[in-house]
Amino acid sequence: MCGIIGYTGFRKAAPILLDALKRLEYRGYDSAGIAVINHEIKVEKRSGYVSYLSGNMEGHVGIGHTRWATHGEPTDINAHPFVDCRNEFAIVHNGIIENHEKLKEDLIKKGHRYSSKTDSEVIAHLLEEEYEKAGDFRKAFINAINRLKGSFAIAAIHKGEKRIMGVKKESPLIVGIGDGENFLASDVPAFLPYTNRVVILEDGDVCEITPKSVSFYDMNGNPVEKKEEYIDWSPESAEKSGYEHFMLKEIYEQPVAIENTVHSLFSTHIDLKYHGKINVIACGTSYNAGFAGKYLMEKMLKIPVEMHYSSEYRTRPNVRERALSILITQSGETADTLMAAKIARKRGHETLAITNVLGSSITHHVDHVLYTSAGPEIGVAATKTFMAQLASMYYLSAKLGVDYGIINESRHEEFMEEFRRIPRLIENSLQLEDDIKKIAYELKDKEHMFYIARGINYPLAMEGALKMKEISYIHAEAYPAGELKHGPLALIRKGTPVVAIVSKDETYEKMLSNIKEVSARGAYVIAISSESEVKSYVDQWIRTPSNNPDFSTFSSAVVLQLLAYHTAKLRGCEIDKPRNLAKSVTVE
């Protein structure tokens, strides 16, 4: 979940490293640091944000790191980069070294002195030891990483050399190829202003970059060939472009993100077998997108769709079944979802990934891939990638319906006509922002909220509650509205905010009854609905533009995102960097 950057080239390294780390802060912001070679290795690191670093260093080769703490609290001492005892090597690391205690114990016996409480520092000391034997940086690096157990992406530099060594094992690492300069990073936005030519490393790949060359090896040191790819993202897509926060910018990018995703989906050919059952496996926001898709899939396909949290999937008994398993992950690097993909394959399931990142790790562990072309998302709280995942599940529901012979061409075309209107629907929903700001003002001093809905809107209620708790720190819970009387009503008192999502479908009358239940107990009810009748039962009504129950989810999602955003802004919260969270969860 940490962010790594490496640079070697003709420019000053420090400004590039700091700029890149700011683009990677969504991966962690507990501490940050850089190391630059200028005759000797100079290190600047401290707890807190990248902006706390001065970057006052000379030199054209360096590495940097922004941290989400796992081993060792977020302090100056535990910040990366780490150096060896002789200050000849510096390293940055993302992942977990499972055997670090044993390695550390052995190295201390040999005279090595440690300064931190992290698992990562051991790598620098291993490099020092292996270099004494090998006398060559590349050989020492390969020998050192072969002594490590766990998950890791590592970048390392050696005093007096212009090359950077890197390795990927279950944590992301990408090479950026420029002219007279090359880059190494956890994610493309880090170096996007300089190049969009990339090589995406796979597990076990070792890279060696100099200003004018890139070379690749396996973990035994044997040369390997890698394919260069072109990332079709503009540098501006990783900038705020005048918006106060990345989250707001990305909310407003959703019409284009869906337009691009729809085009990508229609351009992708996948042939999926009929299995009679579908599993959807994901975490967090991706789980909520998949959960909404479950409702639509069961409605259209008339087959069971079972939801699984990725982190819980491995504990599920190995039930023998023929199934399609859909794995959803924005980054393609989510550790729990990657493990679930491997398990599903072992169980004989046909597997399909929905991801936003070309060539990410999960694409190597599934049978099929659907890409959401949402562009880079920097805000930790997912918005446009959620919407793109939701659109992908809708597209897949209709496609499978036709492929399986369950829906006819006429029904399919009718559905696709609505599907193509989603970008316009989102644009119309964004026009509700001023009304939403006024309601956010009523919520800013609350500490507890409830979200209620039925049917396909229940996953949207879950997503709305998740967004609110992530960025405003208001305790927010989502419930199927029918469950209120089974416990949650005990927590409703005068002034308790309740957000109700209401569609004119088979759940409509029951939702009105549930609204009356909470209103009778003094709740402050905010309804998200296209139906004017709802207004007479609630304190606030946000009128959404869609009256199609299947597609009103997209309108509701926009409202819920903006409501969380403006509430958090009024509370003075750090919206793009919510406490204790990071965007790409690459550890289990």
What pLDDT tens digit does each residue of the chain (588 aa) get? Answer: 688 999 999 999 999 999 999 888 877 778 899 999 998 999 999 888 888 889 899 999 999 999 877 766 878 888 889 999 889 999 999 888 888 888 888 888 888 888 888 888 899 999 999 999 999 999 999 999 999 988 899 999 999 899 999 999 888 899 999 999 999 999 888 999 999 999 999 889 999 999 999 999 999 999 999 999 888 876 666 677 788 999 999 999 999 999 999 988 988 889 999 999 999 999 999 999 999 999 999 999 999 999 999 999 988 877 777 899 999 999 888 889 999 999 999 999 999 999 998 888 899 999 999 999 898 888 889 999 999 999 999 999 999 999 999 999 899 999 999 999 999 999 999 999 999 999 999 999 999 999 999 999 999 999 999 999 999 999 999 999 999 989 999 999 999 999 999 999 999 999 999 999 999 999 999 999 999 999 999 999 999 997 789 999 999 999 999 999 999 999 999 999 888 876 655 555
Enter the tokens of residue 473: 């720190």
Which helix (H) or strand (E) segment holds residue 45: the answer is: strand 40-47
189-214 core/surface letters (b: 16 or more CB in 10 A; e: else):
bbbbbbbbbbbbbbbebbbbbbbeeb
Q: Quick one: pLDDT at residue 235?
A: 66
Strand segments, DSSP code E, in 159-225 are: 164-169, 174-177, 182-185, 197-200, 206-210, 213-217
Integer Cα distance of 441 and 301 in angstroms: 43
The model's pTM is 0.80
Integer Cα distance of 171 and 186 in angstroms: 8
Fold of 3-235: Glutamine Phosphoribosylpyrophosphate, subunit 1, domain 1 (3.60.20)
Please list the residues that pair with 310 across neighbouring strands: none
Q: Quick one: pLDDT at residue 503?
A: 95
Catalytic residue flag (residue 283): no
Peptide bond preceding 74 in cis form (omega within 30 of 0): no
Q: Quick one: pLDDT at residue 439?
A: 97
Which helix (H) or strand (E) segment holds residue 501: the answer is: strand 497-502
- Which of 2, 207, 283, 573 is catalytic? The answer is 2
- Which of 42, 104, 169, 583 is catalytic? The answer is 583
CATH architecture designation of domain 240-420: 3-Layer(aba) Sandwich (3.40)
Sheet holding 164-169, edge to edge: 82-83, 89-97, 150-158, 164-169, 206-210, 213-217
Q: Quick one: pLDDT at residue 172?
A: 86
Catalytic residue flag (residue 2): yes
Which helix (H) or strand (E) segment holds residue 91: the answer is: strand 89-97
* 431-583 has the same fold as 240-420: yes
- Spatial neighbors of 506 by CB under 8 A, at least 6 apart, are 455
What is the domain partition of the chain in residue ranges?
Answer: 3-235, 240-420, 431-583
Cβ atoms of residues 584 and 484 within 8 Å: no
Q: Which CATH superfamily is domain 431-583 in?
A: Glucose-6-phosphate isomerase like protein; domain 1 (3.40.50.10490)
Integer Cα distance of 502 and 462 in angstroms: 14
Enter the tokens of residue 545: 């533009």
Which helix (H) or strand (E) segment holds residue 413: the answer is: helix 409-419
